Amino acid sequence: MLEGKNIILGVCGSIAAYKSALLVRLLVKAGAQVQVVMTPDAVSFITPLTLSTLSKKPVLVNYYKTETGEWNNHVELGLWADMLIIAPATANTLAKMANGLCDNLLIAVYLSAKCPVYFAPAMDLDMWLHPATRQNVDKLQSFGNTMIAPGIGELASGLYGEGRLAEPEEIVSFLSSELKKKSLLAGHKIMVTAGPTYEAIDPVRFIGNHSSGKMGFAIADELAGMGADVTLISGPTAQVSKQQSVKLINVTSAAEMLDACLTIYKDAKACIMSAAVADYTPTEVASQKIKKKDASLNISLKTTTDILKTLGGQKAPGQILVGFALETNDEETNAITKLQKKNLDFIVLNSLNDAGAGFKQDTNKITIIDRNLQKTTFALKSKEAVAHDICLKLAQLING
C-alpha cells in the first residue's frame, strides 16, 4: 500500500528519535519516497547523516540551506507529500501544531500540507497525561489529523506507563491499514443524516428529542476515512466533524431535512439515515411567544413527511439505503417491519433497554439486520467503533 507514496517524516527532539532510522528504512523498503524533516533539537538525538543515508535524500532542518542561501520551500513540500508523519511527536511539537506556532521548518510544512497528517506521540508518562497535552491531542484530531497511539512500557525517566513511541513496524502497519481503508469507498458519494429536528411551536419553543448527533457524526467521519465523498445533513447539535472533507449542511426542522435530503440523495451511491427526525410537527406556529395561562394548552399536531420512506420509494438501482431503529419493545419485529416497508438494504437496531445505548451516550450496542433478514449482533462499543462496523457493512455491499 505504501509503494510509490511520497512521505514526509517529521522527527522531533526526543530520545525516541533513534527509532526513526528503522522507520525510514522500513518505509523505503515498502517502496515509498521518504523526505525527512527534522526540528533543530532533533539533531541532538540522531544525526541527519544517518537519516539522509537511509532515505537517500538530504535531510531538511532549516528554512534555507546555510551554504547557498537556497530556500527549502515548505509550500512545495506540503504539495509533494501524499502523507506527513511526525514520529516521534513531542509535547512541544504537538502544542505548536495545535496552536499554529510556526517557528521551525517542520511546523511550516505541517501548516502547508494538503495531505493526511499522522502523529505518533512520544514523551514521559506525566507529560502525556497532562491536561494541556490531552487538549492539544484532541484539538489535532478535531483538525482531521490521525494519532498513532503511544505504547505502554518502560520510559526514559524510569517510569512505567503510556508514552512510548509506537514501534516502527507498528507505524508502518498502521499506515498501510489506513491507506487500505481509504480505498474502500474512494470515489463514492454518500449522504448521512444526524441529530434531532426541532419543530417550532412559537419563536422560543419547539418539539424535539434527546438525540446528540454523536452516532451520525461518527459515521460521517468513518466514511470520510474510508475515502468517501461525504455530505452530512445535521439537525441542531454541538458535534463537530473530525474530518475536514465532510460537507456539512445544517438544518433545523424535519421539512428542512427532507428538502436537503432530496437535493443530495439523487447523486448519492448510498445514504445512512441516523437522524432522529420528529414524527409530528405543530399544525400552526405562533408568530409571537405563547404566554403562560392558568388554563391548559392544547397544541394541534400533524405528521411530518417520512423521509426514509420517501427516499426508499425513490431509490435507484444500485443505490443503498440504510436506516436506524431505536426501539423500547418488540425490537426486532419493529425493526424488520421498518426495513421492509421502507425499502432498506439494512437496518441498524438499538434498544433503549440496553445499558450504555441510546441518546447522548458515548457508547452503543447494535444489531444489523439486512434485507435477507440475516442478523449480526455486536457487543457494547464506543460510537466510533460502532460507526466502523456499520461503514464496513456498507463497504461490503458497495464492493460486492
Which residues fall in the annotated binding site for CTP? 279, 289, 324, 338, 342
What's the half-sphere exposure (Cβ side, CA atoms, 13 Å) at 291? 2
Q: Which amino acid is at 125?
A: L
Annotated binding residues, written as ranges, equal 279, 289, 324, 338, 342
Q: What is the DSSP letter of 390?
A: H
Q: Does residue 100 contact residue 113 with C-beta atoms inside 8 Å?
A: no
Which class for 308: exposed (0-12), middle (13-18), buried (19 or more C-beta within 10 A)?
A: buried
DSSP per-residue string spanning 10-62: EE-SSGGGGHHHHHHHHHHHTT-EEEEEE-GGGGGTS-HHHHHHHHTS--B-S
Which class for 211: exposed (0-12), middle (13-18), buried (19 or more C-beta within 10 A)?
A: buried
The C-alpha cell 544517518 sits at: 50
The rounded distance, in Å, linking the Cα atoms of 113 and 58 is: 20
Helices (H) and strands (E) in the chain, counts: 13, 21
Phi and psi at 351, nearest 5°, equal -120, 135
Examine the residue annotation and report whether 209 is marked as an active-site residue of this protein.
yes
- Phi-psi sector, 389: left (phi>0), alpha (psi -120 to 50), beta: alpha
State the CB neighbour count (10 A cutoff) for residue 18: 13
Nearest to 365 by CA among 356, 234, 79: 356
Nearest to 173 by CA among 147, 140, 148: 148
Point out the catalytic residue in the list 6, 72, 73, 209.
209
Pull the grid cell for residue 291. 404566554
The rounded distance, in Å, linking the Cα atoms of 20 and 25 is: 9
Task: Please give the positions annotated as active site.
Answer: 209
